[in-house]
Each structure stands twice: as structure tokens, then as C-alpha cells.
Structure 1
Amino acid sequence: MTFDPTLFLPDDLLERIRERAPIHDRENTFPEQDLAELRAAGYLSILVPTERGGAGLSLEQAAILQQRLATASPATALAINMHLVWTGVAKVFSDRGVPGLEFVQDGAVAGDVFAFGISEAGNDLVLFGSDTEATPQGDGAYSFTGTKIFTSLAPVWTKLGLHGLDTTSPDGPKLVFAFIDRTDAVTTSDDWDTLGMRATQSRTTRIDGAVAAAEHVVRRIDPGPGADPIIFGIFSVFELLLASVYTGVARRALDLAVQTAQKRTSKKTGLAYSQDPDIRWRIADMSLAYEALPPQIAALARDVDEQADHGALWFTLLSGTKHRAVTMAKHVVDQAVLTAGGGAYFSSNELSRLYRDVLAGMFHPSDPESAHSAAASALLGPLQG
């Protein structure tokens, strides 16, 4: 049966989100109404199995939905992405018979909002290391102290998934992945004043002894690359849903360029811009770039869903897809702005906002350097010496 994304993101809901997007961008506020409507529509639990009360969608289907949501509000889609990453990791676990994240699935159904607390300033190890201190409490619980950056959903999250380094246990060092509640031990800075993606409100989060209960400590693993499902789960879901958001941005930019070309008329020829050979080439170029990405994302997400074995190639396949999506999206938005002409330079023009939003893509892991490094290692082997 063909998947119908309008069942989860109906046109009227999408239009309301689109109408609110420029307001939140202008005022630098979090889209509370978007979240409320998406929660009411069951969107927070789309990746939770039906037997636990969710919609039971696949990662492939969630990627389609995130592309659709991003056409209305890239920032809302990117913020929701971070919640969906954790429910997606929980799905990776349950699909493979790995216990430990059922509380994430149950929490999503109950209305919890999960945020992603992995990024740290200057930590280019990302998933493979942490500057946050993880201290065992003797009963299986851990306390965490450190600073996380780019914490999307900052004003609204109820659970923060994070990692820290345990250097005190006899078997350490160990990288600890866990979930904490929002308590007095967590301080959210009001420091999100950025060029684009403003409604994500991805503020800095300072953690001072916040405790994760034993049942919410998900993994203790060796630092560095490894085969643990927490690493694969986070990396695969994060990269593919990010690629989806920026592919959705490109789709919207392409649609706006087509609309502009059809309604503008050349004073020189008296014809619609859609009849101008240069404009036609530019729009065709946008389409050729965009059309390659949705099937790539779908195929790789399906492989995650179906537990395909790409072995050591997984990381270059995933980082490469994310890299291609963001570079494609930037190219398409650039072309759309040129197609629309000087009107796109005004801040009231939607393309102006897309132009700013799309720039954020390069800052998300995997960055261009790590994507190229993964590809080179896959083809040439690791660096010697």
C-alpha cells in the first residue's frame, strides 16, 4: 500500500505551520503551537511500534514526513528531528531485539519531548568522546556535569538524552549514554540569536550534577568508534533525518522558483519568465540536483529498517547522504533566489528565510571534512602513521 503522508501531516496543518514560520523567525521564538498541534496529531510517536501505542511507521516513512514538514517550516522540522532521533534509535534497538529504550517509546506516546544533548564546543569526536563528566553513583545511576551546545527544543524538552565520560570506574574510561530530567541541575542559556533556523531555539545547556536514574542509563561503552547499536542507531537516524530536512528545504525552494517563473513577465519579450531559456535552464538544474536525493534517502532508510548489512561502508553511506543533501539544498536555494530576482533579497520573502536556514546544514555532523574522510578511508584504507 502506498504511504500517504497527509494522514500524519494534513494540508491544513502544514499551512498553519507555514503561516507561523516567518513570525517565529522574526521574533526568535520557539513554535509552541506547532509542537502542540504535532503532538495532538500523534507525530511525536510516529516511530513507536503500534503495540506500544505509536503509529508504527518505518524510518523511510518518517524521512518522507520530515521532508514534507520542512517545506512548511525548516526550523520546526529540524527541532522535531531531535526528538525523532531518540525515538528512531529506540526503534533501531527494538527492531534488533536490543532492550533498554522502551521508556523512550512509552514517554513519546505519553507526550514527553526528548532533546539531543551530544554536541559540545570543540569536541570533534562527537559520538566517540565527551568532555562531560559522568560520575557513577554506586547504584547504577550516573550524575553528569558539563556543557552541551546546540540543544534544540531547549524551551520545551522534558527528557535530555546525553553522553559523558566516566574516568573513575575501575573498567574505565567508559562513554555513558543516558537520559536526565529537566531539574534545577540543568540551566538553559538564553543565547540563541542566529542567522537562520531561529525557531529551533537550540540553546546552550549547562549541566551541574544532573542525575540519570539507573533505568535511564542506556549504555556504557569504550570511547571511540565501535559496533555498539547506540552508535549505529544515533548515527543512522540522525544523518538520514537531517538529510530529509534539508531535502525538504530544497523542495520548497524549487516550488517557489517555479511559481515565480510562471507569474513574472519579461518587459523585454512580453513572455512569462517560464519561457526564458536561461530561467528554464536554472530551474531544470535545480530539479536535476533535487530529484536525486529523495530516492537515496528512501533506499538507505529502508536498509536501516530492514537491517541490511553494509559493514564498514555504513558510515560513508550515511555521512555522504547527509553531505550531498545539504550541499544540494544550498545550491538549489541559491538558484531559486537568482530565479526570483531582487524581491528575494527582502526579509519578508520566504526565499530570504530559506537562504539563511539552509546554511545551518553544514554545521551539523557529519561536517564536510568528516564525510570526505570517511569516504577516503572506505576507498583507500586508513591513514598510515
Structure 2
Amino acid sequence: MTTFDPAAILPDALLERFRERAAVHDRENTFPDDDLADLRDAGYLAILVPKDLGGAGLGLVEASVLQQRLAGAAPATALAVNMHLVWTGVAKVLADRGIDSLRFVQEGAVDGEVFAFGISEAGNDLVLFGSDTDAAPRPDGGYAFTGTKIFTSLAPVWTQLGLHGLDTSGDDGPHMVYAFVPRSDQVITRDDWDTLGMRGTQSRTTELHGAVAPADRVVRRIAPGPNPDPIVFGIFSVFEILLASVYTGIARRALDVAVSTAQARTSKKTGKTYSQDPDIRWRIADMALAYDAVPPQIETIARDVDTRADHGAQWFAKLSGLKHRAVTMAKSVVDEAILVSGGGSYFSRSELSRLYRDVLAGLFHPSDPESAHSTVASAWLGPIES
């Protein structure tokens, strides 16, 4: 059995370069093109692609470790590339279950294509179960999509946008259509990404004006609403696991920074380093207790997806719960790291200041706290009676 070494794919020296650039991209509100080039050269875009197709052949367990490692250096870079990895991860989940409809994603990732995630829509709390984007069928089997997608990470660089829309044209009822569209004159990317944190993701708004997905890029057509279809499970599982990984990586970095700061700062009152202060020690212990619980949870759920474990009706509760716990833990850890590190962390030049702003983005990704609690309640108590 080959031992997986994350440092062989993301060496410390590369991560330090990413960390230095992260401050610049945050300050200037720019996309980390150099990071993406380095990741492409390292084969990172194809880590979830099978070896026989030219990828690294890793599973979600290994990808989650790598994303934690990357997020500890450059959270926005990690979150941006997350959206590409979601599609290669969905391709793996489907292929593992005998569905080869996303092989073009795997082959494209090996060739250096960048796949973006076009699912989020303003005010659409149905997420995967509905869409305000119109999907109009074409005579050749393709679809033309018209609508607006928000939080489209990788906006300046993607080559293919994976998205969904609603086809209401048929006599057999509406259908959700999942497909991929290339960049074209029918796709307009607004330059509107000016946010509190995660600025390097450049997750801009995308307007679709009849953007065409060719027939061979239409990958699924399913009924709207809650659906056990593999595309729904694939997207939800990979998305939640990799999101949890990014925010857990942020938490680990905040914990490391807090420890280093406590060991380096000296109290005028006692003459000892703050690492000897009982209150500081309690805070850092509390951070470590919270953090330590989450990486094993990510590993377990990721392995269950990789090995096709059957959690039945509990699957979505487990996945949304994992993301929720990771994000709330990460925010709590960063809050404590700020307190441990003192007033210097309040300056925008401080890495902790950036981590503090970046970690807030986790609250807005699906599943948000309300959705996670609703999903878990339904899994344990059944649906609300009408």
C-alpha cells in the first residue's frame, strides 16, 4: 500500500509562496493567477481523476487533507479551486457508481481545463432542488440557459461552467437540467466582487443570455424537488466535504498562529511568555479541543463516500451536519485566536485579520445553519406534518 504524502503534492515552500501572495490578492482584490498556474503545474486540478486517465487517482479522503493544507496557506485560493474539485469529485462519485457521463470533466481537468460551479442563485433556497434559470431545449439535444448565477468562483479563469436550470417545455412536467456551457458572448461576467473576505476567489455574478450547452455536455435531466438521483448526491456530498475541509484548514492555521504568538509575546507584568498565562493556555486548549474533533469526522465521511457506504436517509443529515460543525468550529477558533494574539491582529495587515474575514464566508455556503438544522431534524423526526 502506497503511503499518501500531502507534502509531496503541496510542499512547504510552495505553500509559503501562496501565503505571501494571499495578502496581496486580499488587499488588491485580485484573482491568484500565479497560484492557479502553480497548482496546474503540480497536477492539482486532476487529483481526483483516475490514474488511467492521467490524474493522481486520489479519493475524497486525500483531497480533503490537501484542501485543509492549502487553505491554511491561502484560504481564497483553496475555496476557489474547491469549486473545480467539486466537479471532478462528482465525476468520480458517478464513475464509482457506474455512471460515466462526466468523463469529459475528468479528461478536461487533465488537459488543464478549469470547471466552475454555477448553481447558486439569489433568493433560491431550493438550491439543487429548483432553479430560476430557464433551460430551453434545442433541436440538436442541447440546451440554452438564461438566468443569473451568483458566487461564481474562478470567474476570471474558468473554461467550462457546470450549472443547472429548469426545463418547463415538456408535457411530462418540469425537469432540472444539469449541463456545462463554455465561455461565449452569451455569458457575461460582472466585475462586482468587492467583499469583506475571500476576495481572491473572485466569485462574481454570471449572466446567462441563451448560453448553449451542447448535447454531449448535458449530463442529467431529473425531476425537481428532493431527489435521490446520483447527480444530487454527488454534488451535495463532494461540496459539503470539501467546504468543511477548507474551513477546517483555516481553523488549523489560526490555532498555529495563536500558539506561535503566545510563545513569542512576553508579559510586562510577569516577565514570562503568554504561553505560561493560565487564561491564554485555557483559550488555546479550548481551540485545540474544538479543532481536533473535526478532521477525523471529515475523514470518516469522505471515506464513506469513497467506499460507497450506505447511510440511507441519514446521508444528507451527516453531510450538512459535517459542513455546519466545521464552519462553526472554524469561526470559534479564529475568534479565540484573535483574543490570544491581542490588538495587533486588529490591523488589516495581520494574517489573523484576513483569516477572521475569510472564515465568515463559511456561514453563507449551503447548507446554512437553518438548512442544516432542518435537514437533521427531518432525518431524525420525519418531515413536518402538513
Q: Same fold (TM over 0.5)?
A: yes
Q: Cα offset for 1:156?
A: 0.2
Give secondary structure in 2 for the equivalent of 1:196.
coil
Name the residue aligned to 1:340.
341
Q: Cα offset for 1:311?
A: 0.5
The equivalences for 1:67-86 within 5 A come to 67-86=68-87
Q: Cα offset for 1:189?
A: 0.1
CA gap of 1:138–1:172, structure 2 versus 1, over 3 A, is farther
The equivalences for 1:280-319 within 5 A come to 280-319=281-320
Q: Cα offset for 1:126?
A: 0.2
Name the residue aligned to 1:232.
233
Give secondary structure in 1 for the equivalent of 2:196.
coil
Q: Which amino acid aligns with 1:34?
A: D
| Residue identity (%) | 75
Name the residue aligned to 2:10.
9
Q: Which amino acid aligns with 1:152?
A: S
Q: Which amino acid aligns with 1:218?
A: V
Q: Does 1:36 align with 2:37?
A: yes
Give me the whole-angstrom Cα distance separating, in 1, the residues matched to 2:103 and 2:315: 25
Give me the whole-angstrom Cα distance separating, in 2, the residues matched to 1:234 and 1:160: 14
Listed one character per residue, the Cα deviations across residues 6-28 of structure 1 (whole Å, up to 9, x for unaligned) are 11111111111011000000000
Q: Which amino acid aligns with 2:35?
A: D
Listed one character per residue, the Cα deviations across residues 231-280 of structure 1 (whole Å, up to 9, x for unaligned) are 00000000000000000000000000000000000100000100000000
Give secondary structure in 2 for the equivalent of 1:206.
strand
Q: Does 1:143 align with 2:144?
A: yes
Give me the whole-angstrom Cα distance separating, in 1, the residues matched to 2:330 and 2:381: 29
Name the residue aligned to 1:248.
249
Name the residue aligned to 1:383.
384
Give me the whole-angstrom Cα distance separating, in 1, the residues matched to 2:288 and 2:77: 24
Give secondary structure in 1 for the equivalent of 2:180.
strand
Give me the whole-angstrom Cα distance separating, in 1, the residues matched to 2:94 and 2:13: 34
Give me the whole-angstrom Cα distance separating, in 2, the residues matched to 1:203 and 1:171: 35
Which runs of 5 or more residues in structure 1 are unaligned?
none
Give me the whole-angstrom Cα distance separating, in 1, the residues matched to 2:172 and 2:184: 30
Name the residue aligned to 1:188.
189
Give me the whole-angstrom Cα distance separating, in 2, the residues matched to 1:291 and 1:210: 45
> Normalised by the size of structure 1, how large is the TM-score?
0.99
Name the residue aligned to 1:106.
107
Q: Cα offset for 1:96?
A: 0.8
Listed one character per residue, the Cα deviations across residues 322-372 of structure 1 (whole Å, up to 9, x for unaligned) are 000000000000000000000000001000000000000000000000100
Give me the whole-angstrom Cα distance separating, in 2, the residues matched to 1:172 and 1:247: 42
> Normalised by the size of structure 2, how large is the TM-score?
0.99
Give secondary structure in 1 for the equivalent of 2:342.
helix
**8 Å CA contact retained: 1:136, 1:169:** no
Give me the whole-angstrom Cα distance separating, in 2, the residues matched to 1:68 and 1:266: 32
Give me the whole-angstrom Cα distance separating, in 2, the residues matched to 1:93 and 1:381: 28
Give me the whole-angstrom Cα distance separating, in 1, the residues matched to 2:17 and 2:287: 27
**8 Å CA contact retained: 1:5, 1:64:** yes
The equivalences for 1:53-92 within 5 A come to 53-92=54-93
Give secondary structure in 2 for the equivalent of 1:179.
strand
Name the residue aligned to 2:120.
119
Name the residue aligned to 2:371.
370
Aligned length: 385
Give me the whole-angstrom Cα distance separating, in 2, the residues matched to 1:267 and 1:340: 15
Name the residue aligned to 2:218.
217
Query: What CA RMSD, in Å, does the superposition of the two structures yield over aligned residues?
Result: 0.5
Runs of 4+ in 1 over 4 A off after TM superposition: none
Name the residue aligned to 2:153.
152
Q: Which amino acid aligns with 1:101?
A: L
Name the residue aligned to 2:203.
202
Which runs of 5 or more residues in structure 2 are unaligned?
none
Q: Cα offset for 1:82?
A: 0.1
Q: Which amino acid aligns with 1:268?
A: K
Give me the whole-angstrom Cα distance separating, in 2, the residues matched to 1:205 and 1:335: 36
Give me the whole-angstrom Cα distance separating, in 1, the residues matched to 2:47 and 2:173: 37
Q: Cα offset for 1:212?
A: 0.3
Q: Cα offset for 1:172?
A: 2.8
Give me the whole-angstrom Cα distance separating, in 2, the residues matched to 1:318 and 1:266: 44
Listed one character per residue, the Cα deviations across residues 73-121 of structure 1 (whole Å, up to 9, x for unaligned) are 1000000000000000000011111120000000000000000000000
Listed one character per residue, the Cα deviations across residues 136-163 of structure 1 (whole Å, up to 9, x for unaligned) are 0022100000000000000000000000
Q: Cα offset for 1:291?
A: 0.4
Name the residue aligned to 2:260.
259
Give secondary structure in 2 for the equivalent of 1:240.
helix
Give secondary structure in 1 for the equivalent of 2:163.
strand
